[in-house]
Chains A and B, each alone.
Chain A
Amino acid sequence: MELAAYESRTSVNDIQLITRVVAGDAAAERELYETYVDRIYRLAFRLAGDDELARDFTQATFIRAFEKIGSFRGDSSLSTWLHSIGVSVALNGLRKTKRQRNREAPMEEGISIGASRIEAEPDLKERMARAIDGLAEKYRMVFVMHDVEGYTHEEISGALNIPIGTSKSHLFQARSKLRVALADFAPEWVS
């Protein structure tokens, strides 16, 4: 994932692309989609840990974006605007998922919803996943976006509609909680 490439393409093509999409240019819609779909999908997958949910969230994000793009005022970059939609869709969906899974917990307990987890020691991987899942939503969001997906605090601020300082604070809190949760692995980072 080349963030610089995204930023470059966005800054150059934002206005023209939006104008064409608003005018009903199907090719422009596809271009906008191709430009941002990977990042939206990856973030959705990171948050959901499930391919079907990630697809649902991504699709809903773009459908909503195409419907609302006429009201896009340009206060933020197109990327930020799209991500704010994506995060909103994902969070709403995850909250509903959580409620549903809580009801189904007895049957699904112990079944991992993650798809392909690679590298990392099995124990560390599992502990890390549980620790991140155990974070409060606001901390988890910032941590995943920043430390896992590489978003900047400016991007997180725009997508989550929070001040940059709040984003940094949430990240600090998230790391602190993870440090406690992963204390058993301290030699790994102390050495």
Chain B
Amino acid sequence: MTEENFEKFVKESAQSYNAPPARVPRDEMWNAIQAQRAAGPRVVYGGGLRLSGVSPRRFHAKVWLGAAAAAMLLVATGVGIGRWTASTAPRAAGTQTIGAVIVPPPEKVAAVATPDAGLSSQQSAVQSTAAAVERSSTGDVRSGGQRVSNGSSLTNGGEGRVATIAGQDSRAPTSAYQLTTVRYLSEAEALLTSFRARNPADQQMDAQLGAWARQLLTNTRLLLDSPVGNDPHRRPLLEDLELVLVQIVQQSPGTAPQDRELIEKTLQQEHVLTRLRTAIPAGAQHGS
């Protein structure tokens, strides 16, 4: 009996709990529904939908705040992507250039590293050549077992010398170009060292060097036309290398010794090899 009384008491008393108005605003809500459906759906309260054209509700501030934050985030992301894309567009072109850089085949290096003459100076040069080619083919620049990153500053661990590659000049090319350039310069160093250490009587060696120089010449032109060519420190070196490579390409088994001396003179006068080794941010050629 008490339970029944309590149930009755609760039901009667609870009628005052959140008592709705006698009149249900049917028409107002119907008009709002129609307006919202005409305007298109909008998420509301997680599970329901609401549309524009409705009088402001207490949730609107929160909804709009979230929408504004999302819009700002979207715009910021778009701007960021745009800038990133704009800055990487030349890099993408440069990546294709990277693919054009030709690494000499090992047999060619082996051929270069097998001079007929047994002079100690030539052997030393060949070892230097092989080391340079190895560095260029692996893409890693190591010195004394210490890996040197291809970042803005590359360290010559052997001598404590630091060669800054990027970041100093606004015209400095991207790291991808820097990597390509380092590999190219290493190859060029290997070629020129081999050229200087060759046996003048070995015509087959001259032919191989000519073919190698022709490949490097193509890459030289590509690099000169790339952002690397805008680097005030790199461009003169590349231009001098281009000249020397042209001379090496033009030589033939019947080339007069005077022509070869011209090449040597160019290398010496312009300090091409010295500048080349300085430009390569590693000390592998110096031994370790």
Interface residues of A (CB under 8 A from B): 30, 33-34, 37-38, 41-42, 45-49, 51-64, 66-67, 88-89, 92-93, 95-97, 100, 114-120, 124-125, 128-129, 132, 143-144, 147-148, 175, 178-179, 182, 185, 188-190
B33/A63 in contact, CB under 8 A:
yes
Among A60, A64, A116, A147, which residue has its beta carbon within 8 angstroms of that of B11?
Answer: A147
The distance from the CB of A21 to the nearest CB of chain B, in whole angstroms, is 13
> Using Cβ atoms and an 8 Å threshold, which residues of chain A touch B6?
175, 179, 189
B57/A30 in contact, CB under 8 A:
no
Q: Is B50 an interface residue (CB 8 A)?
A: yes
Among B9, B24, B41, B48, which residue has its beta carbon within 8 angstroms of that of A38?
Answer: B24
Q: Is B83 an interface residue (CB 8 A)?
A: no
A54/B5 in contact, CB under 8 A:
no
Q: How far is the CA of A102 from the CA of B266 in the complex (A)?
A: 82
The distance from the CB of A125 to the nearest CB of chain B, in whole angstroms, is 5
> Using Cβ atoms and an 8 Å threshold, which residues of chain B touch A129?
16-18
A189/B8 in contact, CB under 8 A:
yes
Q: How far is the CA of A128 from the CA of B37 in the complex (A)?
A: 39
Q: List 10 A-B contacts (CB under 8 A).
A: A33-B30, A37-B26, A45-B18, A54-B20, A92-B47, A114-B18, A128-B13, A148-B17, A175-B7, A189-B9
A132/B14 in contact, CB under 8 A:
yes
Q: Is B86 an interface residue (CB 8 A)?
A: no
> Using Cβ atoms and an 8 Å threshold, which residues of chain A touch B11?
147-148
The distance from the CB of B37 to the nearest CB of chain A, in whole angstroms, is 6
B17/A189 in contact, CB under 8 A:
no
Q: Give residues of chain B (1-33) contacting chain A, Cβ–Cβ below 8 Å.
A: 2, 5-21, 24-26, 28-30, 32-33
Task: Name the residue of chain A whose CB is nearest to the CB of B6.
Answer: A189
> Using Cβ atoms and an 8 Å threshold, which residues of chain B touch A45?
18-21
> Using Cβ atoms and an 8 Å threshold, which residues of chain A touch B25?
41, 55
Q: Is B137 an interface residue (CB 8 A)?
A: no
A62/B33 in contact, CB under 8 A:
yes
Q: How far is the CA of A33 from the CA of B33 in the complex (A)?
A: 10
Q: How far is the CA of A42 from the CA of B29 in the complex (A)?
A: 13
Q: How far is the CA of A120 from the CA of B14 in the complex (A)?
A: 9
A125/B13 in contact, CB under 8 A:
yes
> Using Cβ atoms and an 8 Å threshold, which residues of chain B touch A89?
45, 47-48
Q: Give residues of chain B (23-73) contacting chain A, Cβ–Cβ below 8 Å.
A: 24-26, 28-30, 32-33, 36-37, 41, 44-51, 54, 57-59, 62
Q: How far is the CA of A128 from the CA of B12 in the complex (A)?
A: 11
Interface centre among A30, A33, A62, A189 (most CB of B within 10 A): A189
B41/A56 in contact, CB under 8 A:
no
Among B16, B28, B36, B48, which residue has its beta carbon within 8 angstroms of that of A92?
Answer: B48
Q: How far is the CA of A58 from the CA of B25 in the complex (A)?
A: 11
* With A57-B48, A60-B49, A89-B48: A125-B16 Cβ-Cβ less than 8 Å: yes
The distance from the CB of B258 to the nearest CB of chain A, in whole angstroms, is 90
* With A96-B59, A175-B10: A132-B17 Cβ-Cβ less than 8 Å: yes
B44/A147 in contact, CB under 8 A:
no
* With A37-B29, A59-B36, A93-B45: A128-B19 Cβ-Cβ less than 8 Å: no
A59/B32 in contact, CB under 8 A:
yes
B16/A55 in contact, CB under 8 A:
no
The distance from the CB of B116 to the nearest CB of chain A, in whole angstroms, is 86
